Amino acid sequence: MTRTPLERNFNSWDNTQLFYRYWPPHPTGHYAIILFHRGHEHSARWQEMVDQLNIPTLHLFAWDARGHGLSPGERGYANSLNELVKDADSFIRHIEKDYQISMDRMIILGHSVGSVIASTWVHDYAPAIRGLILGSPALRVRLYVPFAIPALRLLLKYRSKSFISSYVKGRLLTHDPEKISQYDNDPLICPAIAVNVLVDLYDAGTRLMQDAGAITVPTLLLCSGADFVVKQQAQRRFYNHLPNLRKEMQVFPGFFHDTFNEVNRHLPIAKARMFIQDLLARPTPDVDLTKADKQGYTYEEYQKLLQPLPKTNPKYWWFKLQQKLLYSIGSLSDGIRIGIQDGFDSGHMLDYVYANKPSGKFLIGKWIDWIYLNAIGWRGIRLRRKLIEAVLHHAIEQQLTQLKEVAILDVAAGHGRYVLDVIQQYQDQPLHVLLQDYSKANVEQGQQRIAQLNLSAQAQFQRGDAFDAETIEQLSFRPSIIIVSGLYELFSDNDAVMKSLHALYSILAPQGLLIYTNQPWHPQLESIARILTSHQGGKPWIMRRRTQQEMDQLVHKAGFYKVNMSIEKYGIFSVSTAVKKPQCHPHLP
């Protein structure tokens, strides 16, 4: 059965109009498959797959990624892979809204780079989709040149926008002569790929292989046994780290990279069809992570970090050496000195990282400080600040059109830098802010900053404990926006977080907004735990990660519904917005 697509467009997160094809169901249907094409390709390449799936009651959607096919943008280019993942989120939300198909009735199917985009979206955004099918995911591309990735990283330092042309021709993708000819002669296929996207693809693959345990949706991997484009070892590692909830992996011997366009493509397509039909026949899996602080994936990781390394472990000596250097020559850096004195997770440290002005004793101290401030975690923190500011701006603008007055509460504000910087732009608006922090020193610094910015008429700063539910509930200030930034990440106990969230729910105005952050992943988690100290009496700074799914479930359980989310390009820090649900309808979306 040949299905004829409709050609349409949607507005992505930055208002770029991206092209997609839509195959309507016949006669009607309530479920959807969303298709993500391989790098270089476009949505029309899915036509035969759509026909051979032969499930006429499914809605099917396939985009042309930014810079590909009929979508706009420089061919093969995006500012980052994260930009493409944000596009994917916009695409799926467009389908959810315009076609009235809820996430739990969607199955995502990707191929190669499309599989990485899809799985990164599932990992980072934690959507409640029905299932995930990954064809030959490009977790590790075979570059065949020694030290290719370090060389490409170096190139990006001197030339931020550069391209390489793919070595892959049709004969390396499939044994089918007709498919080889179609690929080599397709004018919409672009051989170029941006170097920055290729490097981001490598980094995303690393994150997915290390943290596949965060993906709890039913997942099927369909892999080619003679793939000259990507490495099967990486696919196997990713699969092995997936939770044992509902996962399958099938390798097709002799298949080249283009799994769905090989001579015997009916085999993987039949497997995909069976998996889809099985998903549709079963209820959506219920995965409760609200007790993940007591058992499970991140709990076990946290327990390992709490245990000191034995001296027989080489890493013990490596971390000891780094700690020795940090407390000796490293203290010439002003940033490191603040961390040693007040804690590397303190509000003082956070404000210093936000300022991002290297300083220290002598030239070497300033140089060390520059290196310190450019650690990936601190770069991510500064990007998180930009995300929070953008989200806060949007929330204020939205509420100024709806309410007589906007009231903002930040329950753990540190020095309050980003909130105060934002409200400077609303000095002539009916907007008031209450900032709180547990640290007396932070409160004093924040009060000074309010005075410096002439914001005393709009902003107050007082001491307060975000985990003291009784004190929060007794506040006379009734916010329409509550911010919890960088706080819950520092504490493992979900019961304490739930008490805090319930208290915040009780004082938030009806339909008010909660802006919250999370740290679902960190590439230096063990280094931080073994080397750095916290604000809690100089104890080691040991964090238990919360996957995005866990954090979202806690927020939902407290009575909020998540409506939006952003994550910075390293995948370390996320910023989400949730709306307060009416108490009389606690289960409403």
Q: Which CATH architecture has domain 6-281?
A: 3-Layer(aba) Sandwich (3.40)
Our CA angle for 299, 300, 305, nearest 5°, is: 95
147's CB contacts (< 8 A; 6+ apart) are: none
pTM: 0.94
Residue 313 exposed, middle or buried by CB count within 10 Å (0-12, 13-18, 19+): exposed
> How far apart (Å, rounded) are the C-alpha atoms in residues 563 and 268?
36
> How far apart (Å, rounded) are the C-alpha atoms in residues 34 and 110?
8
Which of 7, 9, 34, 2 minimizes the C-alpha distance to 21?
Answer: 7
Q: Residue 193: helix, strand or coil by DSSP?
A: strand
Q: Give pLDDT tens digits along the chain (589 positions).
A: 789 999 999 999 999 999 999 999 998 899 999 999 999 999 999 999 999 999 999 999 999 999 999 999 999 999 999 999 999 999 999 999 999 999 999 999 999 999 999 999 999 999 999 999 999 999 999 998 889 999 999 999 999 899 999 888 999 999 999 999 999 999 999 999 999 999 999 999 999 999 999 999 999 999 999 999 999 999 999 999 999 889 999 999 999 999 999 999 999 999 999 999 999 998 887 899 999 999 999 999 999 999 999 999 999 999 999 999 999 999 999 999 999 999 999 989 999 999 999 999 999 999 999 999 999 999 999 999 999 999 999 999 999 999 989 999 999 998 999 999 999 999 899 999 999 999 898 999 999 999 999 999 999 999 999 999 999 999 999 999 999 999 999 999 999 999 999 999 999 999 999 999 999 999 999 999 999 999 888 899 999 999 999 999 999 999 999 999 999 999 999 999 999 987 644 444 3
Fold type of domain 292-589: Rossmann fold (3.40.50)
> How far apart (Å, rounded) are the C-alpha atoms in residues 415 and 350?
8
Tokens of 110: 């990707």
> How far apart (Å, rounded) are the C-alpha atoms in residues 18 and 91?
9
Which of 384, 390, 394, 393 minimizes the C-alpha distance to 354?
Answer: 384
The dihedrals phi and psi of 578, each to the nearest 5 degrees, come to -130, 150
Looking up tokens 């930014």, which residue turns up? 66
For residue 343, the Cα-to-chain-centroid distance in whole angstroms is 27
> How far apart (Å, rounded) are the C-alpha atoms in residues 339 and 149?
33
> How far apart (Å, rounded) are the C-alpha atoms in residues 494 and 473?
19
What residue spans in the chain does CATH classification 3.40.50.150 cover?
A: 292-589
Report yes or no: 136 and 259 within 8 Å, Cβ to Cβ. yes
> How are beta strands 31-36 and 58-63 bridged, if at all?
parallel
Which of 220, 257, 263, 267 minimizes the C-alpha distance to 136?
Answer: 257
What residue spans in the chain does CATH classification 3.40.50.1820 cover?
A: 6-281
274's CB contacts (< 8 A; 6+ apart) are: none
Report yes or no: 43 and 71 within 8 Å, Cβ to Cβ. no
Q: Give 562's strand partners.
A: 578
- How high is the pLDDT of residue 583? 61
Which of 184, 234, 204, 42 minimizes the C-alpha distance to 121?
Answer: 204
Looking up tokens 């208002």, which residue turns up? 15
**For the chain, how far is it from start to end, CA to CA, in angstroms?**
37
> How far apart (Å, rounded) are the C-alpha atoms in residues 511 and 583?
11
